[in-house]
Structure 1
Amino acid sequence: MIKVLLVDDQRILTEGLKMILGREKDIRICGVANSGKEAYELCKWNRPDIVLMDIKMPKMNGAEATKLIKRDFPETKVIILTTFNDDEYIYEALKNGASGYILKDATPDEIAEAIRTVYNGGALIQPEVAVKVLNKFSEMAKSKEVRNIDSRVELLTSREKEICRLVGEGKNNKEISKELYLSEGTVKNHITKILNKLELRDRTQLAIFAIKNNLYSD
């Protein structure tokens, strides 16, 4: 059973989600919060598997709450509920450890499937939201933000930097293996080693790291 905490300052939305997700046999709503601060407090007591959270809320927004939740409850995974107008927060929440983004107008089946995907270790960003994330990455590539190189880059070998670059370009293991003439297993092992070296959680964070540190370009 997947324990889900719902977080939104609009009660009508949380009540609707509670009713919709309550029909799923493998999902149980373990709590409802109306702010990021309350969500963090409920995580202490309920230890949800998934936090399904709005990004714009009073007291503490979803990006800030994600940072605290992932810091203190790393086993809990966060899916952000977003709208087309949330550009400023999207990258921040990803950087803070969110595992997925889903639009508020998604169908009940899409929301339930997003929860299952993230619970099983995957990441989920709907195409419409992915465009915004890529646009943010593009802005970063042109800004001063990318010039502050993280010292951890020096821990990487030339091959590892090359793999980071390809991950930053959005390539999957199969595509990387073809480009570098390596087996998929070797690529997977390299990525695992890179994540450990850089103390990053997942591939999404690695892509962000690559772009922030100019590893996206030759």
Structure 2
Amino acid sequence: MSAGVDVLIVDDDPLVRAGLVMMLGGAPGVRVVGEAGTGAEVLPLVERHAPHVVLMDIRMPVLDGLAATEMLRARPGAPEVIVLTTFDADRHVLRALRAGAAGFLLKDTPPAEIVAAVRMVAGGRPVLSPEVTRRLIARVADSGQDRRRAEARARLAQLNGREREVAMEVRQGRSNAEIGATLHLGVPTVKTHVSNALAKLGLNNRVQIALLVHDAGLPDDPQ
């Protein structure tokens, strides 16, 4: 984003916040516009500062980062959210991704990678690859599987045949170019199908499509 990226940092540990402020504040084109120590402070600060990206800790008092992410991403024009965690296979990460978070970062991620991730999500690109999503899904037991499967299949039924094929390819972690080659479509056409699928399903990003196809219990490869 040529105008720069405004970031809100949310973490209950003042030392973590200070470290993130120092790290991001020294990055060209990135500005920290606010800090919060609990999820309850997020919505007022977002309304006041209109950040492009929120770095959100998961475990916080009063209102945790999961609930805050769900509340925030349900609002129109919400900023992108990157959840911060110390667990790379934590079931809470999946809940955050289902709510529309653009990805997650471990708290010990190198500073340069955190800065790069902030820029990526500000540009509309998730920072969690579908491969990592699949690994998380495989390692974390899912509760309410039957109910979730029925709901996911009902939602996917809203898609037409081509949109459903594209959604299956997204589940495989394929890029738009790779999907186009597989389905014999131009990249602009693939982008249109992805956008239409997101709109029909009420989702925010490709990671959520991958999770929904997983929840539906569909095979990994439609071929």
Q: 2:71 aligns with which of 68, 72, 78?
A: 68
Count of aligned pairs between the two proteins: 217
Cα-to-partner distance string for 1:129-152 (whole Å, 9 max, x where unaligned):
64653425x855994244323433
Cα-to-partner distance string for 1:22-52 (whole Å, 9 max, x where unaligned):
1123111111111111122211222211111
- What amino acid does structure 1 have at the position aligned with 2:164? K
Structure 2 residue ranges without an equivalent (≥5):
none
Instruction: Look up the match of 1:43.
Output: 46
Q: Secondary structure at the match of 2:81?
A: strand
RMSD: 2.6
2:195 equivalent to 1:192: yes
Tell whether the 8 Å contact from 1:117 to 1:123 is kept in structure 2 after alignment: yes
Measured after TM superposition, the shift of residue 117 of structure 1 is 0.8
Q: 2:210 aligns with which of 207, 211, 217?
A: 207
- What amino acid does structure 2 have at the position aligned with 1:120? G
2:154 equivalent to 1:149: no
Distance in structure 2 (CA, Å) of the matches to 1:183 and 1:35: 45
TM-score by length of 1: 0.87
Cα-to-partner distance string for 1:195-215 (whole Å, 9 max, x where unaligned):
222222221221122222234
Instruction: Look up the match of 1:100.
Output: 103
Tell whether the 8 Å contact from 1:146 to 1:214 is kept in structure 2 after alignment: no
Instruction: Look up the match of 1:24.
Output: 27
- What amino acid does structure 2 have at the position aligned with 1:148? A
Q: 1:123 aligns with which of 123, 126, 129?
A: 126
Measured after TM superposition, the shift of residue 113 of structure 1 is 0.9
Tell whether the 8 Å contact from 1:35 to 1:57 is kept in structure 2 after alignment: yes
Structure 1 residue ranges without an equivalent (≥5):
none
Distance in structure 1 (CA, Å) of the matches to 2:189 and 2:88: 40
Distance in structure 2 (CA, Å) of the matches to 1:141 and 1:173: 32
Cα-to-partner distance string for 1:62-83 (whole Å, 9 max, x where unaligned):
1111111112353311111111
Q: 2:186 aligns with which of 165, 183, 187?
A: 183
Instruction: Look up the match of 2:15.
Output: 12
TM-score by length of 2: 0.85
Q: Secondary structure at the match of 2:157?
A: helix
- What amino acid does structure 1 have at the position aligned with 2:128? I
Instruction: Look up the match of 2:86.
Output: 83
Distance in structure 2 (CA, Å) of the matches to 1:41 and 1:165: 38
Distance in structure 1 (CA, Å) of the matches to 2:66 and 2:144: 23
Report % sequence identity: 35
Tell whether the 8 Å contact from 1:168 to 1:216 is kept in structure 2 after alignment: no
C-alpha spacing 1:38/1:65, structure 2 compared with 1 (3 Å):
same
Distance in structure 2 (CA, Å) of the matches to 1:204 and 1:50: 17
Q: Secondary structure at the match of 1:170?
A: coil
